[in-house]
Amino acid sequence: MKRLKIYKTDEGEFCLERINEFGHGTKRFFISEEGLLEGLDAYSKNELNQYEIEVESNELWSVLINHLNK
């Protein structure tokens, strides 16, 4: 299954890592939470249903849920 891993790096950047069904991935880095949410908006809701979403922290998870429920 395809996965989206979302986390904050040690340097304070936000990372959106997309991993395909073959285990190959790409990472996009964002300097702000707002940038991360805009990057996530690139995926339609139908596309997001195809991904298993992994989020590093409960705080970040709540921000994403609130954003996606808009």
Residue-wise pLDDT tens digits, 26-66: 999 999 999 999 999 988 777 888 999 999 999 999 999 99
- Edge to edge, the sheet with strand 51-55 lists 25-30, 14-19, 2-8, 51-55
Check residue 44 and give its pLDDT: 79
Check residue 70 and give its pLDDT: 79
Check residue 48 and give its pLDDT: 87
- Cα-based torsion angle of the residue sequence 29, 34, 68, 12 in order, rounded to the nearest 10 degrees: 50
Check residue 32 and give its pLDDT: 96
CA distances from 3 to 16, 20, 24, 55, 70 (A): 10, 7, 10, 11, 22
Check residue 22 and give its pLDDT: 96
Overall pTM surpassing 0.85 (yes/no): yes
